[in-house]
Amino acid sequence: MVEEFEQAIVDQVKRFAREVLLPQAERIDREELFVTRHQAALGDLGAMGMNLPETWGGLGLSGSALYQAVEAIAAVCGSTASMLTAHFLATDSVLIGGNEDQRAEILPLAASGKYLGAFALTEPGAGSNPAEMSTRARREGDGYRITGQKCFISNAAAADFIVVYAKSNPDAGARGISAYLIRPSEHAGVEISSHEKTMGLRGGHVFTVSLDCFVPASCLLGDEGQGFRTAMKVLDNGRIEVAAQATGIAGAALEAAIDYAKTRFVGGHPIADLQGLQWMLADSATELAAARGLGLNAARLRERRERFSVEASMAKLYASEAAWRIADRALQIHGGYGYTRAFPLERYLRDLRIFRIYEGSSEIQRNIIARTILNDGYRRPTS
């Protein structure tokens, strides 16, 4: 349950999304404008630190309130939600894996919007299985030489800090992965490509990051060998936020379909009178409620500090796939107009497609869920 003060924050985020983000969303997509243009305003709003405790300058929102806030932003601009949640992956990495000095140095500035973070885990040859990464961190004097390449890294070109995951002990598999705080403006040898030309989320730019840089030992995030564990905890959080993004966009698509069905007349009657169309809307509303329920269930477990890895995977899997079906039905209801850029349905579908791939594909989520229930048994949801 969202507390009264949290609801006030969520309402403020909704108002900001409606008044500031919505009028720019279509142009951002069309012209591929980097949504970091909203960074300062999001910082002033407190949104850049919604995932962080007040101790480190954040708003200290519960998991449920955070879900609703991310959902509200995604409903009007998926690109902005993508930039923001990628920033959360970076700050969560520092919060979970860093020491007190690192948290004090990075998190207050990140929460205020003065710093933008990036989370660098994926590689050209190691996407769904980070344990296969080839980026190396070798001891060199009083620090580390980090070499390798990361791909599809959101925010990288504008990031003030990048959390880079690399193998400090290649013989130890996943247990040999460590995390490092890299500042592109300070550490020579960080090269960032031009942004990828993506199908959707065109304003949430992603980049290839090539590394051959030396960083002092103080840039090691936590201890050597703890990087994989940190990354998995961060991705548990991130999967709930992907579910929130998916339900936000799906909700916008459903609302558009309902409005269109009521105002589009054929044969003197609104198409909303057609039973076949009514069933499409009913299926969409039911799937959206189920997706949101799974996401909020995982969010509540997160805020209670209970285990939620499998619930996060369920939420991400179901929401990302249901959202696609909901938006596709919404476009179908709009007919030929839905296929044009006069309506946002085609953008919703393009934006949604990546959610079944990033932060662990649907296939990986199914593997996680199956492995968990086979090894630990099925846990009935609790209220």
Which residue is catalytic, options 71, 241, 321, 359? 359
User: Which residues, 6 or more positions from 241, have their beta carbon under 8 angstroms from its beta carbon?
Assistant: 66, 67, 70, 85, 88
Per-residue b/e over 84-104, b at no fewer than 16 CB within 10 Å?
bbbbbbbbbbbbbbbeeebbe
Pairing mode, if any, of strands 161-167 and 117-120? parallel
Which helix (H) or strand (E) is 310 found in, with range? helix 309-334
For residue 93 the two structure tokens come to: 């990495």
Give the helix/strand (H/E) hosting 150: strand 143-154
Sign of CA dihedral 45, 77, 298, 368: negative
Q: Report the alpha-carbon distance of residue 256 to residue 275 in Å, rounded.
A: 18
Residues 6+ apart with CB under 8 A from 227: 97, 165, 166, 168, 177, 178, 179, 221
Is position 359 annotated as part of the catalytic site? yes
Helix, coil or strand: residue 119: strand
| Degrees to nearest 5, angle at CA 232 with 50 and 370 | 115
Q: Which residues are catalytic?
A: 359
